[in-house]
Structure 1
Amino acid sequence: MSSATFAVTADQNGDAGERTKGSTQLHPVAHSHAETNSRGWYIYPSLRFSAAFSDRGKRLFRIELPMCGIAGIWQRDGRPVSPQMISAMTDVQAHRGPDDRGTYISGDLALGHRRLAIIDLTETGHQPMSNRDGTLWITYNGEVYNYVELRAELEAGGARFRSTSDTEVLITAYEQWGESCVERFNGIFAFVIWDSRRQTLFCARDRFGVKPFHFAETGPSFLFASEPKGVLASGIVPREPDWRVVYRYLALNLLNVDNNTFFSSIRKLPPAHTLTVHRNGRSVLRRYWDIPTVRSGEQRSDAEWIEEYEATLKDSVRLQMRSDVPVGVCLSGGLDSTSITRIATEFSSIPTKTFTAFLPHPLYDEREPVNAFTKLTNGKTEPHFISPELDTWVHELPKVVYHHDEPHAGYIASTQWEVMRLVHERGVKVVLDGQGSDETLGGYNFFVESAAADLVRSGRVPEAFRILSMLEDRRGTGFAAGARRLIKVAGRAFLSRDHLFEIEGRWNAAGLPLSQEWSSQFRRFDITTIEGTGSRLDDDQRTAMFVTMLPYLLTFEDRASMAFSIESRVPFLDHRLVETALRLPRHLRVDGTTTKVALRRIMKGKLPDEIVNARLKRVFGTPYEHWFSEKLSDFARDILTSHTFLERPFVEKRKVPRLVASFPAAARSRRQAFNIWNLVNLELWFRVCVEQNAGVVPN
């Protein structure tokens, strides 16, 4: 039997009522294993019944059959929604929640949901969920960590609750505070509330876009889903590529830098925004939070700043440890994830399970720092390791592309995939991760260059050169490299980000087999960067947070974790902590060649010295440039010399043999390895996500 929700209306005495406005009356086809009761209604012993109230006081009984994901469609011209359509939109996202499923269908509106039970494992957390009188319905993905405090505040104002779920807190908060309720939420979320009184869909996404929200508008139809595949499964949104996004990916190795996707008809709700959709076609987009752009000028000692940051970090971890199932940690062996793990052990009565991917290569083997940290915790952690095999990874690539709905631009996606597989195999449903620290505390090595650019701007060129030379010494490259880097930094000091993108894009695209006629359409990248704080370090941190780095890292984090039905949480992105981090004096973020200064001071004596004192960021990833000397070259050659690839509109056929001849160089050059990797992933994306090739689409 196909997945669907079947609803019948009945009056409050239990008698069958006539079809009411706002409710769809459906009759399931007789099934061999179904029974009928005295009223002739079909009863499925293996299914649950739940009740809510419709708009006009009728009791609406819902029979939940297998549904999946967060999805919905509103036909604003009044046409009824097909149960098969909402079923298709949710079925394709089954991996996002194996514990429960449900839909709400009301005439021209349908909401779908698939649940991964983390808080309130009982049936009272079932979604879609309504308020008491059935005038509001919510479908929601994520967690609001401060739901306990919000619930107490709402109860003090007279609210009464039927469950312990955070979902009911959200819908009650909307009922009490309206659209401004999101400003009170501390968490990771994407949700939609149908307000039948106002005839609006209220859509919201968390401050950093940890949880995804994709939507499309085609004629009078408004569709949304957690993942693009959910929107596409409706059958009314075309699978057409956005060629500007494709070019940007190839030329700049950038993903998720704005609200566009690889599909031309599908967009993303921006982080920290709400979208109110009205029946008349009007949509109102509102930003409800922003990072501070001007320093407060507070006169405080370093010790006071560090004390505030440490207290907020601990409170963030405490809140994000709230769960009715055990919480693990993705542990890379670097400063961020070991700090999270160290604090998490303080809030756990059992050993915290940690999950680490390693490769037998000096740059990618995390076992030594992880083992040193594990020893220091004295039994408070339980380490688990996985080592990805090249053959396995090549075999998994189509599945990874399928779950991402886009090609992916780097080693992090592949390593995260293997870590999440390990988490799933060990039976853990929630993990903490260290994403966000590098962007908010200036952790990337290029932020040292950003700080040096500020010195160049202020005329302190010798000091900038000294810092850059020290950076190159640690990399083992020496004086000449320091001089070259100073020239690069001088350009960064005075050129806008747009100019830098254009220079890098043209230089990189020249090494790709791209058609000149095709690529000439996309010379301008139109990437919105954050400028104007007066500091290149501040500008670059904010751009990394909202444009170039964090958005695609969080996308990979979500897709890899949810592919294995795991919720990943990011304590460094508690908005209170981010606001504190960006108010820190610059020398507590980047000081000379030392990054994340505040966090290093906090964790000194609590983590192994080799982790706290490491000055160059460890590479957490996959050695494509080394794998190209093995079987990856053969795999890439087969893809890039195939007839389907050579016929793509962006490919210049005569340039492909030169690219293939460069494969030996890819074994020595990370940039060249990335160029080849991106082309391979793009071709797989066309086959899996656009053309839905039956030979490569995962089951």
Structure 2
Amino acid sequence: MCGIVGLISYTEDLSRRTEVLAAMRGALALRGPDAVGEWVAPRALLVPRRLAVVDLTGGNQPMVATDPSGAATVVLSYTGEVFNADELRAELRRRGHEFRERSDTEVVLRAYQEWGAACAERLRGMFAFAVWDVRTEELVLIRDRFGIYPLFYADTPDGFAFGSEPKALFTTGVVAPVVDGEGLLEALSFTPTPGRAAFRGVREVVPGEVVRRGRDGLRRHRYWNFTPAPHTDDLATTEHRVRELLEEIVRAQVAADVPISSMLSGGLDSSAVCALAGRVLAADGRAEPLRTFSMEFAYHLDNFRPDEVHDSPDSPYVAKMAAHLGTEHRELLVDRGHLTDPAGQSEVVRAMERPVAGLDMYVSLYRLSQEVRRFSTVTLTGDGSDELFGGYLWFHDPYYVRAKGFPWLGASHRMEFLTGLLRRDVHDRLDFPGHAADRYREALAEVPLNGDESPRERRMREITYLNMTRYLRVILDRKDRLGMAASVEGRVPFCDHVLAEYVYNVPWDMKVADGREKSLLRAAVRDLLPDDVLRRRKSPFPTVQDPAYRTALREQLRAITADRSNPVNDLLEPSRVAAVLDDPSFGLRVGVTRMSIEAAVQLHHWLASGVTVAL
């Protein structure tokens, strides 16, 4: 996984801006610790950073195509992994293209030369890249279908800036880290909107989109979305096809020239990926076992209590699965000190560039990524399965299915995830409920339907689409940002578009054929897993149960708000802060959740990182 940043100007000679170039080179060092390159020209500065995974001696960037005279024609700045690169390389050779190396970067460059921006439709993988056409002075940005790789951009007074993360845009000096009311709604509402970012003037390339910026302005178009189609396979054939696709996908995604590993939670999704990956490695004759990693909260080893969505801790199932597969397994124990360390919290906020719902989960995942990096550069995850196969509670409980809003908000019982401590005048003026309702209506209007669905089938299609285009964005952003903060590339087999297109059109009754969540996936991999793991009820990523964690958060809030010069005080409601600090219920009586306290702590770290909130 790599990082890119660039600046385009149609009036200034950028080749003279050496100080800007130096800042851009340092912007995304963790995303690309192995190499940094640059393209310097009057109209364009492009800086790619590389995390070398395939063809370690080739693939250097930016990669430049030339005409017969040797003059540059197009310049590629690329992040990603294209898993059908070998097939595309063979086709492009038949079309007359020559290759000097075996990197997928060169495949993307030649594919762009052959098909232009339409090359995106032929790429199977995860990617976000920029192409600068030297001849027409047009920049083209292209992002993969699910947004596995991030890509942001902003218009400037005389051109355009782009980068893998907003923080990269800020190094150009023409984009500022300012958050206005719309940005605060986006950051704190837990209703992700495709294309929107938290920062004023910054946009995100929508998954499956091409963005063009030339002298005549900006143009956008989608090259992919889900397409409704009849599903004619019977249940047995459907199960076989899902298994066949998963085997094909994992076989392609374990290819790497660096150590590879897999996350293992003891749940269905990660266990299936690990089992398939282990089979591929064994079939290839690799002597070393698959490396697997997991995380557990130390408090849960002796004090775990079942709750609405967690029947048991992960550790026993992880151990059983690791033994079943014979993996080289490492478990990271996270304690309260890790979770409340201000430095670690700050690193998470800097990585995510916004407050998040469930800081304890993010801090633990960041530390797990650091542990993975000690032994591996690439790791597979089970992300995307719950959204595609219907794993979450809100796919199945009638209360949540009937909710007239994003189902994961219905599952919160109308709790204020991140806004419980926000100033009431700000909260009411921005109208968070109205914002969520508007975004929900927009999302429903997008859902691809064939018009023949029964009411139940239509609703389940809607919920699947909402999860695949909104909730999955949260999951993939978390995987990308926290992995890249430790220079680890995360691969997501369940986010393969061929698999997703097929499963999207499978009738809901087939997806829950045995009356349980993800029964289609469970049937497809039933021969790979121990019965206990196969039958285990969906258990989301754990959140720490240690009551002392909330106490520690309260003390952090006390210290933060005691400094009256701290700008976070301008965003927090004093009476609610007082309730958290003085009320034995820690603010629960006025509706303040633990996530809201975490959010206040994160707002402090966010502002300390240089962000300005302008309401």
Both structures adopt the same fold (TM-score exceeding 0.5)? yes
Give unmatched runs, 5+ long, in structure 1.
1-67, 453-484, 693-699
In structure 2, the CA distance between the partners of 1:304 and 1:138, relative to structure 1 (3 Å rule), is: same
Match of residue 166 from structure 2? 228
- Match status 1:167 vs 2:88: no
CA RMSD of aligned residues (A): 2.8
Match of residue 149 from structure 1? 87
Picking from 279, 288, 297, the partner of 2:215 is 279
Match of residue 611 from structure 2? 690
Deviation of 1:642 after TM superposition, in Å, equals: 3.7
- Match status 1:406 vs 2:354: yes
Deviation of 1:244 after TM superposition, in Å, equals: 2.5
- Match status 1:114 vs 2:23: no
> Matched residues in 1 for 2:540 and 2:591: separation?
12
> Matched residues in 2 for 1:668 and 1:368: separation?
36
Q: Secondary structure at the match of 1:434?
A: coil
> Matched residues in 2 for 1:413 and 1:446: separation?
22
Query: For 1:293-372, what aligned pairs fall within 5 Å after superposition?
Result: 294-296=228-230, 298-348=231-281, 349=286, 350-360=288-298, 361=300, 362=304, 365-372=313-320
Amino acid of the structure 1 residue aligned with 2:443: T
> Matched residues in 1 for 2:406 and 2:512: separation?
21
Match of residue 452 from structure 2? none
> Matched residues in 2 for 1:499 and 1:432: separation?
25
In structure 2, the CA distance between the partners of 1:658 and 1:142, relative to structure 1 (3 Å rule), is: same
Deviation of 1:314 after TM superposition, in Å, equals: 0.9
> Matched residues in 1 for 2:588 and 2:329: separation?
32
Q: Could you tell me whether the CA contact under 8 Å between 2:579 and 2:587 is conserved in 1?
A: no
- Match status 1:181 vs 2:119: yes
Q: Could you tell me whether the CA contact under 8 Å between 1:415 and 1:621 is conserved in 2?
A: no
Q: Secondary structure at the match of 2:297?
A: coil
Q: Could you tell me whether the CA contact under 8 Å between 2:181 and 2:430 is conserved in 1?
A: no
> Matched residues in 2 for 1:121 and 1:185: separation?
21
> Matched residues in 2 for 1:586 and 1:255: separation?
25
Q: Could you tell me whether the CA contact under 8 Å between 1:448 and 1:590 is conserved in 2?
A: no
Match of residue 364 from structure 2? 415
Q: Secondary structure at the match of 2:460?
A: helix
Match of residue 307 from structure 2? none
> Matched residues in 2 for 1:145 and 1:139: separation?
18
Q: Could you tell me whether the CA contact under 8 Å between 1:359 and 1:365 is conserved in 2?
A: no
Deviation of 1:591 after TM superposition, in Å, equals: 4.9
TM-score scaled by length of structure 1? 0.77
> Matched residues in 2 for 1:200 and 1:79: separation?
16
Deviation of 1:325 after TM superposition, in Å, equals: 1.3
In structure 2, the CA distance between the partners of 1:668 and 1:623, relative to structure 1 (3 Å rule), is: farther
> Matched residues in 2 for 1:79 and 1:105: separation?
10
Deviation of 1:370 after TM superposition, in Å, equals: 1.1
Match of residue 579 from structure 1? 501
Deviation of 1:691 after TM superposition, in Å, equals: 6.0
Amino acid of the structure 2 residue aligned with 1:398: S
Q: Secondary structure at the match of 2:53?
A: coil
Q: Could you tell me whether the CA contact under 8 Å between 2:76 and 2:129 is conserved in 1?
A: yes
- Match status 1:530 vs 2:530: no
> Matched residues in 2 for 1:245 and 1:235: separation?
20
> Matched residues in 1 for 2:296 and 2:591: separation?
19
> Matched residues in 1 for 2:114 and 2:186: separation?
44
> Matched residues in 2 for 1:647 and 1:318: separation?
48
Q: Could you tell me whether the CA contact under 8 Å between 1:272 and 1:289 is conserved in 2?
A: yes
**Aligned residue-pair number:** 575
Q: Could you tell me whether the CA contact under 8 Å between 1:530 and 1:540 is conserved in 2?
A: no
Amino acid of the structure 2 residue aligned with 1:308: R
Q: Could you tell me whether the CA contact under 8 Å between 1:111 and 1:139 is conserved in 2?
A: yes
Query: For 1:452-463, what aligned pairs fall within 5 Å after superposition?
Result: 452=398
Instruction: Give deviations 1:14-73, integer Å, cap 9, x for gaps.
Output: xxxxxxxxxxxxxxxxxxxxxxxxxxxxxxxxxxxxxxxxxxxxxxxxxxxxxx941100
Instruction: Give deviations 1:166-214, integer Å, cap 9, x for gaps.
Output: 1111010010111100000001111001111222111100000010101
> Matched residues in 1 for 2:525 and 2:590: separation?
35
Match of residue 11 from structure 2? 77
> Matched residues in 2 for 1:357 and 1:409: separation?
19
Match of residue 98 from structure 1? 33
Deviation of 1:245 after TM superposition, in Å, equals: 3.2
> Matched residues in 2 for 1:83 and 1:344: separation?
46
Q: Could you tell me whether the CA contact under 8 Å between 1:257 and 1:551 is conserved in 2?
A: no
> Matched residues in 1 for 2:405 and 2:315: separation?
41
> Matched residues in 2 for 1:669 and 1:398: separation?
28
Match of residue 39 from structure 1? none
Q: Secondary structure at the match of 2:210?
A: strand
When structure 1 is superposed on structure 2, of 321-330 and 360-369 the one drifting more is: 360-369
Deviation of 1:587 after TM superposition, in Å, equals: 2.0
Q: Secondary structure at the match of 1:194?
A: strand
In structure 2, the CA distance between the partners of 1:145 and 1:663, relative to structure 1 (3 Å rule), is: farther
Q: Could you tell me whether the CA contact under 8 Å between 2:14 and 2:45 is conserved in 1?
A: no
Instruction: Give deviations 1:61-100, integer Å, cap 9, x for gaps.
Output: xxxxxxx941100002243241221221230210111111
**Percent sequence identity over aligned pairs:** 30
Picking from 447, 462, 467, the partner of 1:544 is 467
Match of residue 389 from structure 1? 335
Q: Secondary structure at the match of 2:423?
A: coil
Picking from 474, 491, 496, the partner of 1:569 is 491
Query: For 1:204-243, what aligned pairs fall within 5 Å after superposition?
Result: 204-243=142-181
Q: Could you tell me whether the CA contact under 8 Å between 1:628 and 1:664 is conserved in 2?
A: no
> Matched residues in 1 for 2:486 and 2:408: separation?
40
In structure 2, the CA distance between the partners of 1:112 and 1:434, relative to structure 1 (3 Å rule), is: same
In structure 2, the CA distance between the partners of 1:117 and 1:497, relative to structure 1 (3 Å rule), is: closer
TM-score scaled by length of structure 2? 0.87
Instruction: Give deviations 1:354-394, integer Å, cap 9, x for gaps.
Output: 010011313574221111112212x3x11011011222332
